[in-house]
Amino acid sequence: MHMFSKLKTFLLEKHPRSARAQEFLKYIGPGLLITVGFIDPGNWAANIAAGSEFGYALLWVITLSTVMLILLQHNAAHLGIVTGDCISESATRHMKPWASRLILLSAVGAAIATALAEILGAAIALNMLFRIPLVPGSLLTVATVSTVLATNTYPKVEKWIVGFVSLIGISFIYELTMVDVPWQDALIGMVKPTVPSGSIPILMSVLGAVVMPHNLFLHSEVIQSRQWNLADPVVMKRQLDYEFLDTLFSMIIGWVINCAIIILAVATFHASGTVVTDLPQAGALLQPLLGHLAATVFACALLFSGLASSITAGMAGGSIFAGMFGETYNIKDRHTRVGLVLTYGAAAAAILFISNPFKGLIWSQVLLSIQLPFTVFLLLFLTSSKKVMGPYANKTGPKLMLFAIAGLITLLNIMLFADMARQLLGAGR
């Protein structure tokens, strides 16, 4: 998994650049499908909370999370390409049933928490645009994305997602042109780690919103749509090389959009001393600051984000559940459909009990960060096993790097629990 050597090899190949570019375009898609998962409404809530309350102080979390994400998503795709199995199928094949079921059920829970954030985000956008109440808006969102998944083949869904990502990116470019940004401060914030007092829950929600468990499962599934005759070592090498480029390209787009959300929050809300506690509040505050069109663009982009990420959350839930029975994702298969119904049904039911939608979005991302170490260590166990991966198992260098990432995620979770315990003890006095 010499990732950066793959990039160098691609750039130095003797083939004409136009031919290399055309070849690369054939592989674009799976990475963008994953990208929409970390520019979802949960990210919006976490990033706006981070920017409005702490300025640029937590911007570095986006950079660090994206670097971690590139390495982990590449590793997940690596598993899918080499074995032809997603993480869920591979865990079912190579682990003891009680261990695989325990971890995979927690991953289904993560997919449900993700779907909750996505559906709620789309419902909030519908309320901002058309004054539709949250519960009917949530049901409308579930009906829409269920129809898309039930009636479209994967390539069609992929095109939908690419279109949604493009619209979200254009929306934030437009928003940023309307504010004054001290770019030197923003650039420093992207690379200088700081942890302000009281920021741990928000920091963890930002981390959980970028490095998402369901995305690791989904990437190992959807990357298989690009497989051609992988019995041929030459084809296998080309597939692995282009997959990394697709992942790198797509994750950088996600990094730019996430940074843009925080920068916009700092320039509009933090600069005026306003801590945002609601996404509709964010849209309403943008209107007097930047005009009615800016607020409408914000709501439209949120709707695109909610719909697109709801689709991928459902696909992930269906893939994880089907994998528990040794099956691949297939909308015509009973286990895939059960996974979809479970993911969307449980998420929609949970929305009925959420009194504060913004806090619901934030804490859904915290839950994802708590489950994340289990998925990461499962992935590393599988991709480091020669029994599973054969000659493509992780080498020592990449293995150490990936385990360092898993250790850091675990450490941040311990910090979160310690911070929550301090708050509970303080409240009890």
Q: What is the pLDDT of residues 73-120, one digit of tens each?
A: 999 999 999 998 999 999 999 999 999 999 999 999 999 998 998 898
What 8-state DSSP symbol labels residue 194? -
What is the reported pLDDT for 414?
79
Under the banding of pLDDT at 50, 70 and 90, the label for residue 236 is confident
Indicate whether 228 pLDDT > 70. no
Indicate whether 342 pLDDT > 70. yes
At 298-307, the pLDDT tens digits run: 888 889 888 9
At 3-30, the pLDDT tens digits run: 555 555 545 555 555 555 566 556 677 8
The residue count for the chain: 429
Topology annotation, domain 3-386+395-420? Amino acid/polyamine transporter I (1.20.1740)
N-terminal to C-terminal alpha carbon distance within the chain: 52
Helix axes 17-25, 233-268, angle to 10 degrees: 80
What is the reported pLDDT for 143?
95
Under the banding of pLDDT at 50, 70 and 90, the label for residue 369 is confident
Q: How many CB atoms lie within 10 A of CB 116?
A: 29
What is the reported pLDDT for 219?
93
Check: CB of residue 329 under 8 Å from CB of residue 221.
yes
What is the reported pLDDT for 422?
75
Check: CB of residue 225 under 8 Å from CB of residue 319.
no
Using CA atoms, how far apart are residues 18 and 228, in angstroms rounded to an integer?
22
- Mean pLDDT of all residues in the chain? 85
Structure-model confidence comparison of residues 377 and 293, the more confident one: 377
Q: How many CB atoms lie within 10 A of CB 4?
A: 9
Q: How far is CA 203 from CA 60, 62, 102, 142, in A?
A: 10, 10, 27, 29
**Listed range (167-176, 211-220, 324-333) with the worst mean pLDDT:** 167-176
CA dihedral of 335, 336, 342, 347, whole degrees rounded to 10: 170
Domain definitions of the chain by residue range: 3-386+395-420
Query: Tokens 């996430």, residue?
Result: 258
Using CA atoms, how far apart are residues 132 and 86, in angstroms rounded to an integer?
38
Which two structure tokens, joined as six digits, stand for 127?
């309320």
Structure-model confidence comparison of residues 193 and 28, the more confident one: 193
Indicate whether 420 pLDDT > 70. no
What is the reported pLDDT for 428?
54
Structure-model confidence comparison of residues 45 and 309, the more confident one: 309
